Each structure stands twice: as C-alpha cells, then as structure tokens.
A and B are shown apart, each in its own frame.
Chain A
C-alpha cells in the first residue's frame, strides 16, 4: 500500500514528506516504546506511534522505517520536524487512537510485524 493510501484511510495531515507519498508500505508496527520498536519492527514497516519526539525520528532512521504516523493528534515540535526533514523521513499525523489506526490499516490487508 502506498503512503498516500495510508494518509486517506487514517485521515492524516502530512507534516513532512509531501513529495514522498508514493513510498510503499508493506507492514505496520504500532508501538510507543522505542526499544520494543527496535526489537520487533521489520525493515520497511510503517511506524504508528504516540511517542512524539526526536527519539521516534532517530529510531525510524536506525531501523530503516520509511515513514512515521503520529497518532492521537499529537503534533511534533519544530525541532523534531526539522530532524525528520533533514533525514528525508515523511511524518503524518492522525487524530485516531493507536488501536483504531492500526485496525483500519489491518482491515485493509496491511499485515503487522508478527513472526519471522
């Protein structure tokens, strides 16, 4: 699924990466704990998180995460946005809660990061 489609399904606002909405999303990981993200996320999986700070951007960079969706309408501060821009990482924001956001994508056939 393209990031563009994720944006539509989750009714997102695009914060950075307007020109990268054609990024292909194969899987999703929904998580607020960065160590858990690092432990379980697969390369090329979209990260849905309520943790809105620099560490989320750093974690995405380290773990080859192609884009991040912040849930619960939490908006990143300017410095966090600047870091994402510097790294070329698309960030989107949705007002949905984590469970609802994951559920919508899952019901559209995007799998999670379960299994090997």
Chain B
C-alpha cells in the first residue's frame, strides 16, 4: 500500500537484540503522539508494533519495520529474514508458541503475540515462506 503524500519511515530490527527490543515500537509511538494521533489509537499501534518487533527479535535474523501514515490509517509493514512460519493458522492460535526458555525469561513466549496484534488492528495479513522469512502487514484505522 503506497499513497502520495503519506508520511513514511523505515526502522531496522536485529534478531536476538533483546537489549534494544521495543525501541522501534517506542519510537513509532512517540512519532504518532507528536503528530497528534488519539491516545487510544496510539496505544493500539504501539502494542501491535511491539509484538511484531519482539517476534523479529525472537525468531528472525533481522528485519525492517516500515511505518506509513495516511489521513485515514496507520500502516505497518514488518518484514524479516528468518525461519518463516510454516503454519500461519496454527501460529495465530492463542497459546501456540515455539519460544525458548530464554525468551520466556524475557516475559514473552506466551503465544499471545499474533492474537494481540489481531486484537489491536483493523487488518492483519501475514505472508511467510519457510526458510526465507515473514511479512506482517498491520493496519490501524483512525
């Protein structure tokens, strides 16, 4: 989705970089606050972005987050190079997780990430190729 005159920004996310995990979502949240997006919308985007960012950190080698703002919506495209998701329907189920002990120690890996993204967005589309990577497209309308 590309639109003339839309605000656009790209961010990098590194796999296993737990130290910086959440930084991109925090930055996205600050940008939305600065341009005056309603607090409830900002919160939904931030939660969805954070779960998607954590998934890149936990499962992929590296990824990018592309933020696009139009007058109607916030669009996030999270792309990563990684193992991909073989069964997306299964991954979407609450409680399904392949997270390791280390990830659980970080407070993630409850299998609630993708369902959380779904809950906080108006549109969620996941494309993935096993062994190549995953593309998560998130839309939150104003």
Contacts and interface: CB of A to CB of B under 8 A. Distances in A.
Chain B binds chain A: yes
Interface stretch (B6-14, B61-69, B75-83, B102-110): B102-110
A55 B21 CA distance: 8
Contact of A64 (B22, B39, B107): B39
B47 A61 contact: no
**How extensive is the interface on chain B, given as a class?**
20 to 34
A108 interface: no
Contacts of B115: 39
Contacts, number: 72
Interface string B50-77: 1100000000000000000000000000
Interface in A56-102: 56, 58-59, 61-64
B106 A53 contact: yes
Given A38-B112, A39-B119, A58 B43 contact: no
**How extensive is the interface on chain A, given as a class?**
20 to 34
Contacts of B108: 33-35, 55
Contacts of B112: 33, 35-36, 38-39
Nearest to A56: B107
Q: Which of A37, A39, A61, A62 has the most CB of B within 10 A?
A: A62
A61 B26 contact: yes
Interface in B35-49: 39-40, 43, 46-47, 49
- What's the dominant secondary structure at chain A's contact region? helix
B37 to A, nearest CB: 13
A35 B39 contact: no
A43 B43 contact: yes
A54 interface: yes
A88 B106 CA distance: 22
B107 A59 contact: yes
A59 B109 CA distance: 14
B128 interface: no
22 contacts: A32-B107, A33-B107, A33-B108, A34-B107, A34-B108, A35-B51, A35-B111, A35-B113, A36-B110, A36-B112, A38-B47, A38-B112, A38-B116, A39-B112, A53-B107, A55-B21, A55-B108, A59-B50, A61-B22, A62-B43, A63-B46, A64-B43
Interface of B: 18-19, 21-23, 25-26, 29, 39-40, 43, 46-47, 49-51, 106-113, 115-116, 119
